A and B are shown apart, each in its own frame.
Chain A
Amino acid sequence: QVQLVQSGAEVKKPGASVKVSCKASGYTFTGHYIHWVRQAPGQGIEWMAWINTNSGSTNYAQNFQGRVTMTRDTSISTAYMEVSRLKSDDTAVYFCARLYSISSKAFDYWGQGTLVTVSS
């Protein structure tokens, strides 16, 4: 069965960086894009970026360009998202999600979420 398993919760100080992983299983990793979204406490969902797991190409929301980097390691079916220069309002649960298909533009499987807390 398809699974996306994310790394554990993180606590970081303002100005630091955090790298969250998303390990895929149960399907061909390079056959589906991986997206990242985040959800601040009590708030809505904010789309951040996608990575083409086959080519490695990426696209970022304007709000995150220059501060977020997505990478992948196809040998271990894992995608990564790194956020640098953390601020307190980056405190959120970060989710990875699999794109069902290029034509559908929908996210059919999700990771369990990783809470990143930014606090001095």
Chain B
Amino acid sequence: GAGVSQSPRYKVAKRGQDVALRCDPISGHVSLFWYQQALGQGPEFLTYFQNEAQLDKSGLPSDRFFAERPEGSVSTLKIQRTQQEDSAVYLCASSLVGIQGPETQYFGPGTRLLVL
């Protein structure tokens, strides 16, 4: 079956532009995570959805970052007024909901954002 897909794969934005990054999770996966991976670093948690509910957004670095998952499937991460420090790879992962422990997260290939 299809894995997690993300689009676009690459995005170049001028400083101050708004961008929208899309994530299509595996069908039936209730949980969806967004991560930011800076060059040479591990992924850092941004936000987490269970169905359409955003249960944790503690990792969003500023109020310029906004995520939604209105129908509990596709999710969009929006960054307003992009800054150079926003340049990174944005990873999306989905999983079944963990009941007695964490379920395996399946990652998409990421969107590489470069802000000039």
A and B bound? no
